[in-house]
Amino acid sequence: MFKLAERMQKIPPYLFAELDAMKKKRIAEGAKVIDLGVGDPDLPTPRHIVEAMKKAVDKVERQKYPSYEGMYEFRQAVSEFYNRRKGVKLSPEREIIALIGSKEGIAHLPLAFVNPGDYVLIPDPGYPVYYASTIMAGGIPYQMPLREENNFLPKLDEIPSEIAKKAKIIFLNYPNNPTSAIATKEFIKEAIDFCIDNKIILAHDYAYGEICFDRYRAPSFLEFDNAFDVTIEFNSLSKTYNMTGWRIGFACGNEEILKGLLKVKTNVDSGVFEAVQEAGIAALRGDDEVIDEICRVYSERRDILVDGLNKIGLKAKKPKATFYVWCKVPMKSIEFVKKMLESAGIVATPGVGFGSFGEGYVRFALTKEKEIIKEAVERLEKFLGSN
């Protein structure tokens, strides 16, 4: 009776919703399912952040409409965080806005700058929201292959000049979801120059920027020369502080791009609940040992899973960042995931769900305790032995 708009029909079903339905079916059948699919941290939000939220909720002034751009003190805390962790100076007044999670900002950015028929350059495989938000804005997604032989970095010189000239935005994401790849300094400089030359907005999704291992530090794109000319960087407290359900993030960088995004936000939402912003302030101004401990936990889990996968015959490299392991599999990714769920009771994410160049891989999330990951490896060994 009610037909979806044509643009919505171009968007495939959201992958994680499909996986959730498959998982629920197996649980209803009595299976003990180990979910290494969606990247939702199992670790609790640090206690000092929770306590800050509790106190803030009682404040009458926090129970009113928030400002669209975010509380000044929250933006100031972001500025302090970037200065401390990245050596990047940001103006709280002009170069930072609060978001209802970074996903919200990413989804709204094309609405501010993309006209029907404009191109948006998106990584393949990549976070599905890049594609969906482009379609919803009337844009044309141009997929940039991320291949293992190029360390899952797009080859910008392969983008046809006529496409680059019609492109309004390029989405990049390092450390990368789903491949867990990292960007070299040379590539970041190349990307900034490419965007300056072609007058393209560089939208950097930096949600996993703090989840790093083995003394690696993932740079902000804003650390590089001329980055502020073209770059908006999306960041989130979700992964850094185990705050996925709190829905708070921020965008920072080029003032003109931020103004465009803010114009969309003023028309579609009413900002972030200020009690949550107070919790965010407590997080950003807290002891950085909290981040170090979270990374230590994921590093131990990474070693158990990757060593186990390679021992039983699957190929996976130890990532230097993110809490994902990108693993080659011996069949079509969706087929592998379905069989693994049916036979071993393990949920992972098929690579093809992130784009056609994700085929042949699955993504495992390190969001379960060590003992559970060990059990998952044991189940996988039996599963592979029976196929």
pLDDT in tens, 368-387: 999 999 999 999 999 988 66
Fold for 47-284, please state it: Aspartate Aminotransferase; domain 2 (3.40.640)
pLDDT digits (tens, 9 = 90+) for 319-355: 999 999 999 999 999 999 999 999 999 999 999 999 9
- The reply to whether 6-44+289-385 and 47-284 are identical in fold is no
Query: What are phi and psi for residue 103, nearest 5 degrees?
Result: -55, -40
Q: Domain 6-44+289-385 is classified in which CATH homologous superfamily? A: Aspartate Aminotransferase, domain 1 (3.90.1150.10)
How many whole angstroms from its chain centre is CA 138?
23
Looking from the CA of 206 toward its CB, the CA atoms found within 13 Å total 25
Neighbours of 273 (CB within 10 A): 20
What residues does each domain of the chain span? 6-44+289-385, 47-284
- What angle separates helix 274-284 from helix 72-86, to the nearest 10 degrees? 20
Residue 244 pLDDT: 97
Neighbours of 216 (CB within 10 A): 12
Retrieve residue 167's tokens.
Answer: 């492109």
pLDDT digits (tens, 9 = 90+) for 99-142: 999 999 999 999 999 999 999 999 999 999 999 999 999 999 99
Global pTM?
A: 0.96
pLDDT mean across residues, the chain: 96
Are the CB atoms for 299 and 213 separated by under 8 Å?
Answer: yes
